[in-house]
Amino acid sequence: MSMLKTEIYDTEREMSLRCAQIVKETLDRKPDALLCFPAGMSVAGTCVALKEMQDAGEIDFSRAWFVSLDEWLDLEDESENCTNFLRKRLYGPLGIREEQMTLFDTHAEDLEAECRRIDRFIFDRGHIDLMLLGIGMNGHLGLNEPGGGFDSYAKVVELSETTMNVGQKYFSGGMKLTRGITLGVRHILETRHVVLQICGAHKQEIVRRLYHTGPTEDLPATALMLMDGAEVVMDREAAAGTPELAGAADEA
């Protein structure tokens, strides 16, 4: 079993509150921290908790910076893409200003140059301070698909069949998914603190694989085992298929 630092909470709400607290702790230490959030339902509860904390005057985002994790390419309708998911659930509710956000331009004529622009922004900020991540059903992080390697910065990727299929849940109608643009695993490894959020019984099998597989490019999430600053925060449903995690649940 891997030595990933792990915290397990009884409910998704409790898991989300813990992740929101980690964001607060980051900004308390460094008010102008560079933050990176994923799109997807794993982070939705954390967004709600952060709004509650902001309304209570417990957290201040006014000096924070944000950078895109990933984005779909070639969409016929972009209204439900990753950026708009986060605008609806995070940036908008928290009142994040446009100048605080550095987002992938999916319409850039030269997407490789766009990747280098994002890279430079991250390098100029001294790397990312806190990154929240979800885990794909095939173990991907961001849109870093199995077999993609751990040594790349921002890049354009061809989507796996699993991601093409599972990704449909983010769209109200059928959507043709073929390519994406994403921060590479090397950006993740260079981030000061990475939190992998996992919730729901449907993630039990990928959680089991994560904790019973050594670092391998075939399961991108295992790259976190190479980091000192990575941890997993999950709910009890997600952990239920991996009995060895019972001790971590007691410690959370």
Q: How far is CA 218 from the centre of its chain?
A: 19
Provide CB contacts within 8 A for 206, sequence distance 6+: 135, 136, 137, 138, 139, 221
**What are phi and psi for residue 84, nearest 5 degrees?**
-70, -30
Which helix (DSSP H) or strand (DSSP E) does residue 133 occupy? strand 130-133
User: Known catalytic residue: 138?
Assistant: yes
Residues 34, 30: Cα–Cα separation, whole Å? 9
DSSP assigned state of 216? B
Selecting among 7, 12, 129, 140, the annotated active-site residue is 140
Query: Which member of 7, 81, 138, 193 is catalytic?
Result: 138
Query: And the tokens for 11?
Result: 């409910």
Helix (H) / strand (E) containing 210: helix 204-211
Question: Does the active-site annotation cover 193?
Answer: no
- Annotated catalytic residue, options 70, 71, 129, 190: 70
Q: Is 127 a catalytic residue?
A: no
203-206 long-range contacts, CB within 8 A, separation 24+: 203/135, 203/137, 203/234, 203/238, 204/237, 204/238, 204/239, 204/240, 204/241, 204/242, 205/241, 206/135, 206/136, 206/137, 206/138, 206/139
140 is catalytic: yes
**Catalytic one among 14, 145, 235, 237?**
145
Catalytic residues: 70, 138, 140, 145
